[in-house]
Structure formats: C-alpha cells, structure tokens
Amino acid sequence: MKGAFIMKSAVRYYSRSGNTRLVAEAIAKGTGTQAVSVDAADAEVREPVDVLFIGGALYAYGIDTNLKEYIRSLKKENVAKAVVFSTSWVSKHALDLIREELKKQGIRVSEETLYFRGKPNEKQQAEAEKFAKKFL
C-alpha cells in the first residue's frame, strides 16, 4: 500500500556562522523533521533512523572537534545510512572528512552528497529541500 512504509530520518549539523545550519534547516523542512546541532542537549540519535543527514564545514582544513566527537558517539545500529552535506569556502574536503569518520563507526554512507560554497541562497536552500526529499 502506497505510503504505508514511512522512512525515518534525522538531521544533525555543526555550524559556527550559520551557513551549514541553513542547509540543515532546508533538509529538515524537506523531510519533515528538525535540524539539531550536534552540541544540543537532544542531539543523540536514540531511535533507529533510515537516513541520518549530517553536515559540517571546514575550519583551517579540518572539521570541528564537536562534529568529530559527535560522529564517534553515534551507534551504527541506529543509523542505516548517512547522507553528508557541507558548506565551506575553498574545498569540498569536509565531505570526505565527515564520510571517513562515519565509516570508522561502521556506518554506511551514501555516495550522494550536498555541497554549497559558503552561505546558501534561497534557490540553493530550495535545492537542499528537494535533495532531501529524494531519500524519503
């Protein structure tokens, strides 16, 4: 029966100046969930999800320790698949760094990623919303 199978998803991000947060919020809008910062009290993924959207940016060639530690706290049995997104200025390398950390946790990571250079404009936010819907 169409619609009987509902995919569960969650959105987690780390953002210093709000660029990645805007992408996270667009993804959350697309999937009907909340975007939660990895350092928020309710950041833990307590119930298994089919898709975890997880994003961050590059700061001095690396991802923030908060994000790294958060990924290391994830339980692979609660995340069937992760989808990585990022903003940053010079390179997309944050995508690889986040993917590597997730793989170390034994979490399956989608080949599909989402990246915007710096602050996403409204068109890009709409693109992020549409991107996220594909995974439902």
> 19 or 31: whose CB is closer to ligand FMN?
19
Looking at residues 93 to 132 of the shown chain, list those that interact with ligand FMN (rule: CB under 6 A).
Answer: 118
Looking at residues 72 to 91 of the shown chain, list those that interact with ligand FMN (rule: CB under 6 A).
Answer: 87-91
Within 8 A by CB and 6+ apart from 71, the residues are 54, 98, 101, 102, 105
SS3 109: strand
Q: Which residue has the tokens 């996220």?
A: 132
Q: How far is the CB of 126 from ligand FMN (least distance, A)?
A: 18
Helices (H), 1-136: 19-31, 65-73, 93-104, 122-133
Looking at residues 3 to 62 of the shown chain, list those that interact with ligand FMN (rule: CB under 6 A).
Answer: 15-21, 57-61
Binding site for ligand FMN (CB under 6 A): 15-21, 57-61, 87-91, 118
